[in-house]
């Protein structure tokens, strides 16, 4: 019998053969990778091209993922399936026709905002959240049609709840934690998590230290206990992992993530002026080889082996099967 796949539903690393080999050592069958933060359409196409080169260079380690069935192909051939996503709607610019184009190129997730107000919705750092815009409602409808998943990880509360209600298909928060456990602006309050999960959507738990209680000093026990409490409220079947692993990047990249071209000033986001770069990862999750630690921690927190396997990838795999195709 084929084992439940292990899926990390958000990484943005400085990709290399070393990291691809660590994915294999960690038994990671699929990873949703960010290929756009602030890029326009043409710049995003260059990122698709770069990934095509990596698929050519490392065919024994990675393969392009487009459908849930590709996760099984990756398992059967000892590789990691790479699924593409955007953390900003910038690749579709102001052209709704590009939604279908980027899906045909392989994009499977798109955030409606990245911290700031976009043409589609309000980001989590804005003072006022006006909800889903007129264009946003049209884009949600088109994303539903083609099978491009709506991701609200960096969006405001009202916008996220409205997106969950407007969308005719389940949406996702690919990488965030409960605000109640760690009150970071990017983390999600219970009414937001409820709106997403009760409509069939998914929450992926993040290991990025700014999203963790006690940040880099967060313990594995605290992290897994938080997941257990979330499962008690919303059920274990709508929960997964989206580590937000940003491995091997220089600090200049986190500045690009936060600032893009929209500001002349450095936006420290959830960090501080004293520590503007990437924070150290917690000791129990430094790279892809450490996924066993999380799965063992979930079992220690009271999850059955089947529930733990679901959170480690089975739930995302089911979500892929239900939501990546046209409707």
For the domain that residue 309 is a member of, what is the CATH number?
3.20.20.140
Domain that holds residue 318: 7-323
Instruction: Examine residue 159 and state whether it is found in any structural domain, yes or no.
Output: yes
Task: Identify the pLDDT of residue 265.
Answer: 82
Sign (positive or negative) of CA dihedral 49, 50, 55, 57: positive
Between CA 142 and CA 145 the distance in angstroms is 5
Instruction: Examine residue 143 and state whether it is found in any structural domain, yes or no.
Output: yes
Instruction: Examine residue 1 and state whether it is found in any structural domain, yes or no.
Output: no
For 72, the enclosing helix (H) or strand (E) is helix 68-77
How many Cβ atoms are within 10 Å of 30's Cβ, its own excluded?
28
Nearest to 11 by CA among 287, 316, 296, 269: 287
Task: Identify the pLDDT of residue 276.
Answer: 61
Between CA 243 and CA 287 the distance in angstroms is 10
Write down the pTM of the prediction. Answer: 0.96
Q: Which two tokens stand for residue 86?
A: 């955007």
Task: Identify the pLDDT of residue 273.
Answer: 39
Number of independent structural domains in the chain: 1
Instruction: Examine residue 267 and state whether it is found in any structural domain, yes or no.
Output: yes
Q: Which two tokens stand for residue 26?
A: 């960690």
As averages over each run of 10 residues, the pLDDT of the chain (327 residues) reads 92 97 98 97 98 98 98 98 98 98 98 97 97 98 98 98 98 98 96 98 97 97 98 98 94 80 74 61 98 98 98 98 96
Instruction: Examine residue 2 and state whether it is found in any structural domain, yes or no.
Output: no
For 253, the enclosing helix (H) or strand (E) is helix 251-259
Task: Identify the pLDDT of residue 257.
Answer: 80
């Amino acid at each position: 019998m084929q084992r439940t796949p292990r899926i990390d539903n958000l990484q943005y690393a400085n990709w290399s053969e070393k990291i691809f080999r660590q994915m294999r050592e960690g038994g990671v069958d699929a990873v949703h990778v960010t290929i756009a933060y602030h890029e326009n359409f043409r710049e995003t196409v260059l990122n698709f091209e770069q990934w095509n080169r990596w698929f050519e260079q490392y065919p024994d380690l990675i393969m392009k993922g487009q459908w849930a069935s590709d996760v099984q192909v990756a398992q059967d051939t000892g590789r990691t399936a790479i699924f593409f996503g955007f953390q900003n709607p910038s690749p579709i610019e102001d052209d709704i026709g590009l939604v279908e184009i980027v899906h045909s190129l392989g994009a499977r997730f798109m955030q409606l905002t990245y911290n700031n107000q976009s043409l589609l919705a309000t980001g989590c750092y804005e003072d006022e959240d006006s909800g889903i815009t007129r264009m946003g409602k049209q884009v949600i409808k088109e994303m539903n049609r083609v099978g491009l998943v709506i991701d609200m990880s960096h969006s405001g509360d009202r916008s996220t709840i409205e997106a969950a209600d407007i969308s005719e298909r389940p949406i996702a928060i690919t990488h965030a934690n409960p605000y109640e456990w760690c009150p970071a602006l990017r983390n999600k309050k219970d009414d937001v998590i409820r709106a997403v999960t009760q409509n069939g959507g998914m929450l992926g738990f993040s290991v990025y230290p700014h999203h963790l209680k006690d940040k880099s000093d967060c313990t594995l026990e605290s992290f897994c206990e938080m997941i257990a409490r979330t499962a008690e409220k919303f059920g274990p079947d709508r929960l997964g992992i989206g580590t937000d692993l940003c491995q091997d990047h220089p600090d200049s990249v986190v500045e690009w993530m936060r600032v893009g071209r929209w500001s002349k000033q450095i936006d420290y986001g959830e960090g501080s002026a004293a520590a503007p770069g990437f924070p150290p990862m917690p000791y129990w999750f430094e790279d892809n080889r450490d996924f066993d630690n999380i799965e063992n921690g979930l079992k220690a927190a009271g999850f059955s082996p089947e529930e733990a396997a679901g959170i480690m990838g089975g739930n995302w795999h089911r979500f892929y099967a239900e939501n990546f195709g046209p409707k």
